[in-house]
Structure 1
Amino acid sequence: MLLSPDAAARVERVDEDYLRVRVGALSRLPGNPYGAEVRVVGGGCGFLVEAVPNPLFNHVVNLDAGALAELPELAAWYARHGKPLRVDVTPAQSDRQLLAALVAQGLSQTGFYAGLYAELAPADCPELDPASGCTASIDRPESTRTGSAIDVAPVDPEEFAEVYVAGFGFPERHRAAMAESMRVLADHPSVDFFRARVGRATAGVGLLFRADTVGYLATAATLPQYRRRGVQSALVRYRMLAARQAGCDLVVGHTTFGGASHRAMERSGLRVAYTKALWGTAT
Structure 2
Amino acid sequence: MRRRIERIEEIELELTKLNASRALAAVPKQLEVLSVGGSTLLREPTNPASIYYNRVKGFGAQDVPLLDTILNHYPDGAPCFDLTPDLLSPDVSRALIEKGYLPAEQLVFLHADPLQKFEGTYEFQFELVTEETAEKFIQWIALSNGGMELTEEMVARSKPYFYRPDFKNYMLTIDGNPAAMGSMFVHGQAGYLANDFTFPEYRGRGCQTALLRHRLAEAVQLGLDTLYTDVEFGSVSHANMERAGFRTAYLSAFWIKDDK
Q: So what's the TM-score if we normalise by structure 1?
A: 0.76
Which residue number corresponds to residue 105 of structure 1? Answer: 99
Instruction: State the 1:211 CA deviation.
Output: 1.3
Instruction: State the 1:13 CA deviation.
Output: 2.8
Mapped to 1, the partners of 2:170 and 2:91 lie a distance apart of: 42
Check if 1:11 corresponds to 2:2: no
For the residue of structure 2 that corresponds to 1:185, the secondary structure is: helix
Q: 2:116 aligns with which of 125, 134, 149?
A: 125
Larger helix fraction of residues: 1
Which residue number corresponds to residue 220 of structure 2? Answer: 244
Which residue number corresponds to residue 70 of structure 2? Answer: 74
Q: 2:59 aligns with which of 50, 56, 63?
A: 63
For the residue of structure 2 that corresponds to 1:159, the secondary structure is: helix
For the residue of structure 2 that corresponds to 1:193, the secondary structure is: strand
Instruction: State the 1:42 CA deviation.
Output: 4.1
Check if 1:40 corresponds to 2:16: no
Check if 1:95 corresponds to 2:116: no
Which residue number corresponds to residue 268 of structure 1? Answer: 244
Check if 1:159 corresponds to 2:136: yes
8 Å CA contact retained: 2:134, 2:163: no
Given residue 33 of structure 2, which amino acid in structure 1 is its aligned partner?
V
Structure 2: tracts of 5 or more residues without a match:
none
Given residue 55 of structure 1, which amino acid in structure 2 is its aligned partner?
I
Instruction: State the 1:50 CA deviation.
Output: 4.2
8 Å CA contact retained: 2:163, 2:169: no
Mapped to 1, the partners of 2:234 and 2:42 lie a distance apart of: 25
Aligned CA distance change for structure 1 residues 165 and 57 (closer, same or farther; 3 Å)? farther
Check if 1:211 corresponds to 2:177: no
Identical amino acids, percent of aligned pairs: 25
Mapped to 2, the partners of 1:56 and 1:222 lie a distance apart of: 22
For the residue of structure 2 that corresponds to 1:92, the secondary structure is: coil
Aligned CA distance change for structure 1 residues 277 and 174 (closer, same or farther; 3 Å)? farther
Given residue 112 of structure 1, which amino acid in structure 2 is its aligned partner?
Q
Instruction: State the 1:201 CA deviation.
Output: 0.8
How many residues are treated as equivalent by the alignment?
254
Mapped to 2, the partners of 1:19 and 1:163 lie a distance apart of: 21
Deviation per residue, 1:21-62 (Å, 9 max, x gap): 333x369x9xx7444333334445332334454422222222
How well do the aligned residues superpose, as a CA RMSD in angstroms? 3.3
Mapped to 2, the partners of 1:19 and 1:201 lie a distance apart of: 30
Given residue 18 of structure 1, which amino acid in structure 2 is its aligned partner?
L
Structure 1: tracts of 5 or more residues without a match:
127-136, 144-148
For the residue of structure 2 that corresponds to 1:253, the secondary structure is: strand
Aligned CA distance change for structure 1 residues 222 and 207 (closer, same or farther; 3 Å)? same
Deviation per residue, 1:112-153 (Å, 9 max, x gap): 111111133xxx313xxxxxxxxxx3423xx6xxxxx21122
Mapped to 2, the partners of 1:10 and 1:266 lie a distance apart of: 20
Instruction: State the 1:192 CA deviation.
Output: 0.8
Aligned CA distance change for structure 1 residues 199 and 174 (closer, same or farther; 3 Å)? closer
Instruction: State the 1:228 CA deviation.
Output: 1.7
For the residue of structure 1 that corresponds to 2:52, the secondary structure is: helix
